[in-house]
Structure 1
C-alpha cells in the first residue's frame, strides 16, 4: 500500500549493496521520496560535500522520517543526523564502536534525535520503507507517542493552490462573504493568522498563539504544543495535524481520525501502516509483539 502525503518534507537513509561499498549509509533530504534514490545516485557519481562516491546501482531506501513543517527544519535534521558529534543537540550520543555496524549506528543516532529538543516536539513520522531492515527499538529509546511508527511506501502529493487558499479562508473560501470571526480563546476578532479544527461539524477558529498557549498551559517550559483538547468540540487533536490542515493538507484526515478512536483489536493486523504503539495505548492492554525480522548481514 502506498500512502500519499501532502506537503512532504522528509529525511531518508539509503543502504548500499555493491560489494565494494556494502554497508555504506547515505542520509539525504527529499520532497519526492519516489525519485530520491535515482537522484542521489546521479549526485554521488558527480561527487559532492558529505556524499559517498557510491556511483554503482544497488541502493535501498530503508526508512524515511517525514512530517517536518518546512524544508529548513528537515535540512537541519539531515545535517545533525549526518554529523551527530558536531551537533550541540547530540553531545550525549556515544561514538560508534568497532563492533557496531554503520547501519545500526545511524539508527542509534536517529532514535536519540527523536527524543531530544527540538525534534521531540515536531509531528514527525518514522516510516520503514523496507521491512526486512526493521530493528526493534530499545525500551529506553522509544520515540514520543505522538510520533507514528509505520511501514510501507509513501508518495508525495502537492497541495493544490485552490485547496490551500480555501483552508486559509475556511469552509466558505471567501472571507468577504462571511461575517468577521472571533477567536474562541481570547474572543478578539480573527484575521488571517488562525487555526481551524478539522473534525466534522467543529467550528473552531482561534489565533495560533492563543491556541498554542491554551495547549501549553500545563507545559510552561515548552514553545511548541504536541496535542490538546479542542475548546469547541472537546476532542483531542495533535498540533501538527492542525498546522497541516491550515496549509491545506486533507489527505491525512483518515489516519488522523484513527488516532482519536479506540480501534477494534481484530483490525490491528489489517492496518500495518498505522502506528502499532498507539493501538496498545488506546486498547489499554499489552499487545503481542511483532514477529522479529531477519537481521542485515553487514559490518562496516
Structure 2
C-alpha cells in the first residue's frame, strides 16, 4: 500500500437548507464545516455564502438535513452537483428521473436524494443521512414518489423541542453538536484501534494469517471494542464481497459496502472501516519518523 495515502476528510457533507421566512424555498450545497457554512449563508460571517441565500427576505436559513460519509471531497461535490441537477444527472437513469428543471418541490428534492443514494456511483459508499427538522422527516416518510432507500443508508434523527426559537438565527448549536459528536465517536474508534494494535504481538491477519505491518499496510479493525480481529484491507474486502450482504456494483466491483467480522460476526461498514484504517496507517508511519 502506498506511503502517499491521504486520510479521508474528517467530515464532508451535502446539505439541504430551508428558509425560515420563506419555508418553501430550499438550497443545496456542500461543505466540510456545516456550522461555519450556515453562518456564512445567514450573513453572520462576512466572507462566503452564496448569491441565492443572500437574497433579501430569505434569511435566516436552517440546515434541515445532511448526507455524509463521503470518502473524499470529490465524491461529495459529485453528489451535490447530481442533486442540484437531478433532471439531467447521469447518476439517475432517464426513466427514473423525477421532476424537471422548473419543477423542484421539496417532495421532489427528497425523492431525488433517495434515488442518488441508491445510484451505482454512490450506494457503495455506505452514505448516511441526518435530518434535523420534523417537517423534512415527515416528507421522507410520506415518500410521495415511492422511492426505496437502500438498506445500507443509515438515518439519524436529531429533533429539538423548541425549534421555532432554535432557528431564529439558524440552528447553529444543533449542527455544531452533531458534527462534534461524530468526530468524538471516530476518535474513540481510532484510539481503540491503536490500543488493539499495540497489544497485539503477533499481528496476524484474521483471514490469511500473515503479518499485518501497519507501516506497509493500512490495518483494518472490527468496530466491536472487545473484538481483537486484525485484517489486511484487501483480505477483508475480498471476504466481504463473498457475502451476499455486501454486493459489489458494476462501477467498482472490488469495493464492498459492508460485511461481518470473521471472528465476532459483528456488522462493519466498509468506508468508515477504511477511514479509520488509514488514520492508523498514518499514525504508525508518523511514529517511526
TM range (shorter): 0.5 to 0.7
SS in 1 for 2:91: helix
Name the CA distance, whole Å, in 2 between partners of 1:237 and 1:47: 38
Counterpart contact for 1:44–1:54, Cα < 8 Å: no
Question: In structure 1, what is the equivalent of residue 3 of structure 2?
Answer: none
The partner residue of 1:195 within 198, 210, 220 is: 220
Counterpart contact for 1:66–1:126, Cα < 8 Å: yes
- Write out per-residue CA displacement over residues 176-214 of structure 1, whole angstroms, 9 at most, x where no aligned residue: x86352212122221221201121331111111110111
Question: In structure 1, what is the equivalent of residue 107 of structure 2?
Answer: 104
Question: In structure 1, what is the equivalent of residue 98 of structure 2?
Answer: 94
Name the CA distance, whole Å, in 1 between partners of 2:81 and 2:61: 21
Q: Could you tell me how far 1:59 is from its partner in structure 2?
A: 1.6
SS in 1 for 2:59: coil
Counterpart contact for 2:43–2:54, Cα < 8 Å: no
Q: Could you tell me how far 1:215 is from its partner in structure 2?
A: 0.5
SS in 2 for 1:88: coil
SS in 1 for 2:42: helix
Question: In structure 2, what is the equivalent of residue 36 of structure 1?
Answer: 37
| Number of corresponding residues | 238
- Write out per-residue CA displacement over residues 52-94 of structure 1, whole angstroms, 9 at most, x where no aligned residue: 5425523222211122223222222112111223431124213
The partner residue of 2:120 within 113, 117, 120 is: 117
Question: In structure 1, what is the equivalent of residue 196 of structure 2?
Answer: 171
Name the CA distance, whole Å, in 1 between partners of 2:248 and 2:126: 19
Q: Could you tell me how far 1:116 is from its partner in structure 2?
A: 0.9
Bigger proportion of residues as helix: 2
Name the CA distance, whole Å, in 1 between partners of 2:44 and 2:85: 19
The partner residue of 1:64 within 63, 66, 76 is: 66
Question: In structure 2, what is the equivalent of residue 289 of structure 1?
Answer: none
Cα distance change, pair 44–170 in 1 and its aligned pair in 2 (3 A): closer
Name the CA distance, whole Å, in 2 between partners of 1:33 and 1:185: 40
After superposition, the CA RMSD in angstroms is: 3.6
Higher RCO, 1 or 2 (CA under 8 Å, sep at least 6)?
Answer: 1
- Write out per-residue CA displacement over residues 211-252 of structure 1, whole angstroms, 9 at most, x where no aligned residue: 011100244653321222211223333324433543669xxx
Cα distance change, pair 232–39 in 1 and its aligned pair in 2 (3 A): same
TM-score normalised by L of structure 1: 0.66
What are the ranges of 5 or more consecutive residues in structure 1 without an aligned counterpart? 1-5, 250-300
What are the ranges of 5 or more consecutive residues in structure 2 without an aligned counterpart? 1-8, 159-173, 281-289
